[in-house]
Amino acid sequence: MNKVSPETEREIRRRKTFAIISHPDAGKTTITEKLLLFGNAIHMAGVVKAKRGHFATSDWMEIEKQRGISVASSVMQFSYADHEFNLLDTPGHQDFSEDTYRVLTAVDSALMVIDSAKGIETQTKKLFQVCRDRHLPIITFMNKLDREGRDPFELIDEVEKVLQLPCFTMTWPVGSGGRFKGVYDLMEKKMRLFAAGQKTLKFTQEVFTDLEDPILCEKVGQEWIDKLKSDLELLQGAGHDFDQERFLKGELSPVFFGSAVNNFGVQELLEAFIRYAPSPRPRPAASRLVDPEEAPFTGLIFKIQANMDPRHRDRCAFLRICSGEFIQGMTVYHVRHARDFKINNALQFMSQERKNIDRAYAGDIIGIHDRGTLMIGDTLTMGEELKFAGIPQFSPDLFCRVELKNPIKIKQLRKGLEQLAEEGTSQIFHRMHNSETIIGVVGPLQLEVVKFRLLNEYGADAVFPPMGYTVSCWYHSKNKNKMDDFKSYYHSHIVYDVREYPMMLFKSDWEKQYIEEKNPEIKFYSSLLNYEEELHGTD
Ligand code: G4P
């Protein structure tokens, strides 16, 4: 292996690339904001909030500002304590789970935020499952301790039972709600006292190393000190040492308690990422494992976003650098197109700002302005025929016709649909014998976003009458006659995607099962990866 220089190696090793996952409202935006505050990427808390029409640093799009939800993931880079962090935001809403899958292919670890009053919620479970499939190391943050919450033992127990994720408590809360006193740091053996309303970095924290300290006792109350001592005994009873190896395999999660809105416990998270979370890790490609410290640059496009800046109608491809170093102006090899191309406009994202970069390293996420050459899943190298694995695409379950209120805007509609489909926001289908366009999405909110963006970004006012299908699959048979018979018998159920792959639409799971049983020679696939494997296996 041709290794990078010692300077580049140092740069790569001081990078931490992670995503935050949580159920909506658990506090992801608030934590993001505080992390950026510590990273000096913003200077005042309160600018990230999407809620109530505030300006949103991490939520780009107009619809997010209006609805107060995070529908597409964004990327932010910041420095802290001689480390470079790439923080990827993920949409909490289930209709955007595909975007989340893609983001999680680009990170090396994740922060799981849990509302301590609510515990594990549906979306936490789903997002966690994606992390588990990828064996991502997870740090857990129990948030909102300043509110009356559930018993911390019960919370830990829930994570261990429901997610089957053993926990290692790094900090332990003393009280909650109006009686929240602070947290005890089990690693450093210190008690940090809680103070509400910390909005900037200029805050002092009272720290006590001796639980017998009379001043601590006066501030917290003897009964709480006694309770802490008995909790600690119980914790030590459960005690196993923190096992870094198990954490790195995604089998053990360090857990922290705090209150993001009060800036309490967030800095400890950053320290934990530095101490425990992995630097860029090797990445599987179809032919081999690619080490981040290999000298030739390689990268994976995991996300496309059109119109990030409405003033400049642009299309940006997000690239995770998988190995080596990127230098602005470099000529790279586009494996899918088998063509070289020069990148001289690569961007770095600092919350809302983006700026041109000179250099970036394995682990970094950079943006490339692009008119349509780059697609999700593309690999860029310095000439090697390499294909990074793991960007999934799933079959949609909501299908609608696309109709225009004002037919003059047909060109704008086509362009908009095409670009939004390239972003992965939706999938576009057509029928064999007519020009009808069909849109497929994984949930109604996604459809709303497409409608809104078509109107706002492309001036096309579209409506989407539903077609009544709820399940879809790509299908294939090695027997060509069977394929032809199937096609002529079910022609009204069949649509074609942008690659001209045939897809069968079903009105219900029951109908799917019935048709599957009637046609044992036809195989059905809800994952594009599996379908393509079968297809190419028959070539
Ligand atoms: P999300 O991105 O995960 O959806 O959650 P977000 O950070 O937007 O937080 C959801 C709500 O929870 C917000 O209140 C936020 O202020 C609040 N919150 C976050 N962390 C804490 C915490 O540590 N303690 C308490 N008590 N609340 C917390 P909101 O009323 O929806 O919005 P806002 O107007 O207060 O900003």
Q: Which residue has the higher pLDDT, 391 or 279?
A: 279
Ligand 1 mean position, distance from CA 290 (Å): 40
Mean pLDDT, to the nearest integer, of 323-341? Answer: 95
Give yes or no for residue 234 having a pLDDT over 80.
Answer: yes
Per domain, the residue ranges of the chain are: 18-278, 284-381, 398-537
Name the residue type at position 239: G
Q: Would the CB of 68 count as within 6 Å of ligand 1?
A: no
Q: Would the CB of 115 count as within 6 Å of ligand 1?
A: no
Ligand 1 mean position, distance from CA 23 (Å): 12
Give the position, in ligand 1's atom list, of the atom nearest the Cα of 30: 7
Highest-scoring range by mean pLDDT, 218-232, 344-358, 378-392: 218-232
Please give the CATH architecture assigned to the domain spanning 398-537: 2-Layer Sandwich (3.30)
Q: Would the CB of 149 count as within 6 Å of ligand 1?
A: no
Please answer whether residues 431 and 495 qualify as being in contact, where contact means their C-beta atoms are separated by less than 8 angstroms.
Answer: yes
Q: Which residue has the higher pLDDT, 337 or 529?
A: 337
Q: Which residue has the higher pLDDT, 406 or 271?
A: 271
pLDDT at 72: 46
Position 60 confidence tier, pLDDT thresholds 50, 70, 90: very low
pLDDT at 59: 47
339: CB partners within 8 A, 6+ apart: 333
Rounded to 5 degrees, what angle do the CA atoms 347, 136, 387 make? 60
Task: Give the residue from 519, 517, 416 showing the smallest Cα distance to 462.
Answer: 416
Position 196 confidence tier, pLDDT thresholds 50, 70, 90: confident
Q: Would the CB of 29 count as within 6 Å of ligand 1?
A: yes
Pairing of strands 283-284, 289-290: antiparallel
**Burial annotation 332-354 (CB, 10 A radius, 16+ → b, else e):** bbbbeeeeeeebeebbbbbbbeb
Name the 3-class secondary structure at 249: coil
Choice from 74, 112, 142, 261 to test ligand 1 binding pocket (greatest atom count within 8 A of CB): 261
Task: Give me the CATH topology for the region 18-278.
Answer: Rossmann fold (3.40.50)
In terms of pTM, does the model score above 0.85?
no
Tell me which residue has its CA closest to atom 22 in ligand 1.
144
pLDDT digits (tens, 9 = 90+) for 249-297: 999 999 999 999 998 999 999 999 999 999 999 999 988 999 999 999 9
Q: How far is CA 291 from CA 2, 323, 515, in A?
A: 10, 6, 46
**Burial annotation 27-60 (CB, 10 A radius, 16+ → b, else e):** bbbbbbbbbbbbbebbeebebbbbeeeeebbbbb
Q: Would the CB of 409 count as within 6 Å of ligand 1?
A: no
Tell me which residue has its CA closest to atom 14 in ligand 1.
25
Q: Would the CB of 147 count as within 6 Å of ligand 1?
A: yes
Give yes or no for residue 20 having a pLDDT over 80.
Answer: yes
Tokens of 218: 């006066």
- Matching CATH topology for 18-278 and 284-381? yes
Q: Would the CB of 25 count as within 6 Å of ligand 1?
A: yes
Domain 284-381 is found in CATH 3.30.70.380: no
Ligand 1 mean position, distance from CA 278 (Å): 29
CA dihedral 130, 134, 139, 144 (to 10 degrees): -10
Give the position, in ligand 1's atom list, of the atom nearest the Cα of 143: 23
Interatomic CA distance for residues 431 and 437, integer angstroms: 8
Choice from 37, 48, 51 to test ligand 1 binding pocket (greatest atom count within 8 A of CB): 51
